């Protein structure tokens, strides 16, 4: 059975790169009728952030990823928090020691710093020089009796060429002489990522490991541990980096990278998921918008590229807008409610709110955009501030159109969506002004924008009184 895991550290928010890793794992697991496991790699106790675990789970749920086994759900392969599995790691570390594939290291931090300084001065590779590797068993026993602080390191074989296979990159070759004798058990008794991940992936019967390419240099160490422990390794897929437009690595310094930031800004989960999956995975044709089910059916590792992918915010905005346009009026309103609640207009009549949201739907790029657009319909006297539009409304032809509309409106019992075009036709007839001189002044005066919502719809919501007030305001500029 195919079993894939997403195993973040609870040290903060869910990065969009982490979501992509989770998504690729989830899509393949669902496609192959397998299991998706959520495991917490919390052995670095100094970096734990309170509430991070709950946030990670909530963001996965928001994105539509259903966890089959995990820290919050349990399962027959648990526990799923590494901090609760320490005896398991110590058992296998002892096995590595007994088999001669690991050793105790007693070097102090001062010794290690001096070693690195010397290597740096001589332009040598910065890595542990293996001095404790050659201690006799008698020396080790004596030191264990008197020295409480020590680590356990794995032995890297010398002069070996490791040939590895990756689902995305094909064959990868690394010389063991380039590797460091990795720490497996830290001085505080907690395992490092390298030991814990190998032990957990085996005991939890993980069949495929999907992770970022920054872990590729660690692959030979992990494969060596699988060899030492006489286990069959899973298949690996190392994903390319997600990059900023300047091709630097995507980071918080250059903008939003947390999934919750995109949620709070009003991006739809289905749009963000669609966008992120296409960061690295290439479709067979020109299709760009995929349902979750279509992603599951079409996903494959052989169409994941090796090169980094640019995080294009404009493309994300376009994609989000496409998904917004597909929502029914009722579904749109339900999704807008949390954003409307944060405005001064939350207590307005719901029927009118629903009508306004429907009118504004083609104008929304994100759900949060609704907050700036409601004032046109509900604020007592919204003001025109665009200098270009103010100047345009001061032109003689614009003033003529506005006054003609004012006159027609005063002589009309009510202004509705249905009769607004007829009123404008009368304005055209009485003034002789048409086309680009007729409609823009009305748009600027009523919507306060160069490209606002459909005018008859706006006028229908405004009614006669508000239309006349907006026209009067434009005439008084």
- Rounded distance between C-alpha atoms, residue 394 and residue 476, angstroms: 9
Closest CA to 343 of 323, 313, 371: 371
What sign results for the dihedral spanned by CA atoms 131, 132, 136, 138? positive
- Rounded distance between C-alpha atoms, residue 401 and residue 394, angstroms: 11
- Rounded distance between C-alpha atoms, residue 39 and residue 82, angstroms: 8
> Which ranges constitute the DSSP H helices of 147-291?
193-203, 219-228, 259-264, 269-277
CA 320 to chain centre: 14
Q: What is the DSSP letter of 303?
A: G
Q: What is the DSSP letter of 243?
A: E
Options 252, 352, 425, 465, the catalytic residue: 252
- Rounded distance between C-alpha atoms, residue 256 and residue 247, angstroms: 16
Instruction: For residue 274, give every residue at least 6 positions away whose Cβ sits within 8 Å of its Cβ, in sequence order, or none.
Output: 288, 289, 290, 295, 319, 323
Q: Which residue spans within 145-279 are E strands per DSSP?
A: 151-154, 161-166, 170-175, 183-185, 208-212, 235-239, 242-243
User: What Rg, from alpha-carbon coordinates, does the chain have?
Assistant: 32
- Rounded distance between C-alpha atoms, residue 463 and residue 343, angstroms: 23
Q: Is 429 a catalytic residue?
A: no
- 75 phi and psi angles, rounded to 5 deg: 150, 165
Q: Which residues are catalytic?
A: 252
């Amino acid at each position: 059975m195919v079993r894939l895991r997403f195993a973040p550290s609870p040290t903060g928010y869910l990065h969009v790169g982490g979501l992509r890793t989770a998504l690729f794992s989830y899509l393949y697991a669902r496609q192959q009728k397998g299991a998706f496991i959520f495991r917490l790699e919390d052995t670095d106790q100094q970096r734990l952030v309170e509430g991070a675990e709950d946030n990670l789970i909530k963001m996965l749920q928001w994105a539509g990823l259903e966890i089959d086994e995990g820290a919050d759900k349990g399962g027959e392969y648990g526990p799923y928090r590494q901090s609760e599995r320490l005896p398991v790691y110590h058992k296998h570390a002892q096995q590595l020691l007994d088999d001669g594939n690991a050793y105790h290291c007693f070097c102090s931090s001062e010794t290690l710093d001096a070693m690195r300084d010397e290597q740096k001065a001589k332009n040598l590779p910065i890595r542990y020089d293996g001095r404790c590797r050659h201690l006799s068993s008698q020396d080790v026993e004596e030191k264990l009796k008197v020295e409480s602080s020590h680590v356990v390191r794995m032995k890297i074989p010398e002069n070996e060429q490791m040939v590895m296979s990756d689902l995305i990159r094909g064959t990868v070759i690394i010389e063991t002489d380039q590797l460091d004798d990795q720490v497996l058990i830290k001085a505080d008794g907690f395992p490092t990522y390298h030991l814990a991940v190998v032990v957990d992936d085996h005991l939890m019967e993980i069949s495929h490991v999907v992770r970022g390419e920054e872990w590729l240099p660690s692959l030979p160490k992990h494969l060596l541990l699988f060899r030492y422990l006489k286990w069959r390794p899973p298949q690996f897929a190392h994903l390319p980096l997600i990059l900023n437009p300047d091709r630097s690595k995507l980071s918080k310094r250059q903008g939003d990278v947390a999934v919750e930031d995109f949620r709070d800004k009003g991006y739809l989960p289905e749009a963000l998921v669609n966008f992120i999956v296409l960061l690295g995975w290439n479709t067979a044709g020109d299709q760009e918008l995929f349902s979750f089910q279509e992603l599951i059916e079409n996903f494959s590792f052989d169409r994941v590229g090796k090169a980094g992918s640019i995080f294009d915010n404009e493309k994300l905005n376009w994609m989000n807008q496409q998904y917004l346009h597909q929502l029914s009026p009722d579904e749109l309103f339900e999704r807008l409610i949390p954003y409307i609640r944060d405005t001064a207009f939350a207590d307005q009549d719901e029927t009118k709110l629903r009508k306004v949201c429907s009118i504004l739907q083609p104008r929304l790029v994100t759900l949060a955009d609704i907050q700036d657009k409601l004032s046109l319909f509900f604020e007592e006297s919204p003001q025109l501030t665009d200098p270009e539009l103010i100047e345009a409304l001061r032109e003689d032809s614009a003033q003529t159109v506005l006054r003609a509309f004012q006159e027609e409106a005063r002589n009309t019992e009510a202004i509705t969506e249905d009769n607004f075009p007829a009123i404008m036709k009368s304005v055209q007839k009485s003034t002789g002004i048409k086309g680009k001189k007729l409609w823009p002044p009305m748009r600027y005066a009523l919507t306060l924008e160069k490209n606002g919502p459909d005018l008859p719809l706006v006028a229908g919501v405004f009614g006669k009184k508000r239309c006349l007030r907006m026209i009067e305001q434009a005439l008084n500029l």
